[in-house]
Structure 1
Amino acid sequence: QLTVESKIKARYQCSIVDFFQKCLDQKMDTHEIASMINCSVSNLRRIARKYHFTFHQPEPTPMLSQSKEFLKKTLNIDNFLSRQWTN
């Protein structure tokens, strides 16, 4: 009897983590992945925990130095600590 993990490795010829990452890169959610590999979502999440993988990867936040408010020449709430207090 094949496990879900062995099915993924055999069918997709990659590691479990690589498979999960490829699915996320394709914007698939856990329900789509589970139905694709014919398992339950809870089983999918259990396998992900086993490999220390998380499906909820937040978008990177932009750096403050890229903010228009931060780059203004006048003092404001975003840039007052980065400016000189004396001339």
Structure 2
Amino acid sequence: VAHMYMGLQFQGAVTFWDVAVAFSQQEWESLNSAQRHSYRDVMLENNSNLVSLGHSLSKPHVITLLEHWKEPWMIVRKDQRRPYTG
């Protein structure tokens, strides 16, 4: 299945990790409060958009963390079994 977005064509389904940005602990700590809030807003909106398009089958753990205002840098990807630092 091909998807069009702003003139770009994607093959297959778009996943959360295709549009996610992940920070290491050090990178996260270097962000100021406004940057952290912007990151949270963008990530939650991206997930919401994917859900509304039917592209998200389960809620990523990072979304749960962000919904509870917890630091998202310690993400464990199921396919890697180790912290994901982008």
TM-score exceeds 0.5 = no
Larger fraction in helix? 1
Structure with more contact order per residue of length (Cα contacts < 8 Å, sep ≥ 6)? 2
Larger fraction in strand? 2
Please give the range of the TM-score, normalised by the shorter of the 2 chains.
under 0.3
- TM-score normalized by the length of structure 1: 0.27
- TM-score normalized by the length of structure 2: 0.27
Q: Which structure's CA Rg is the greater one?
A: 1
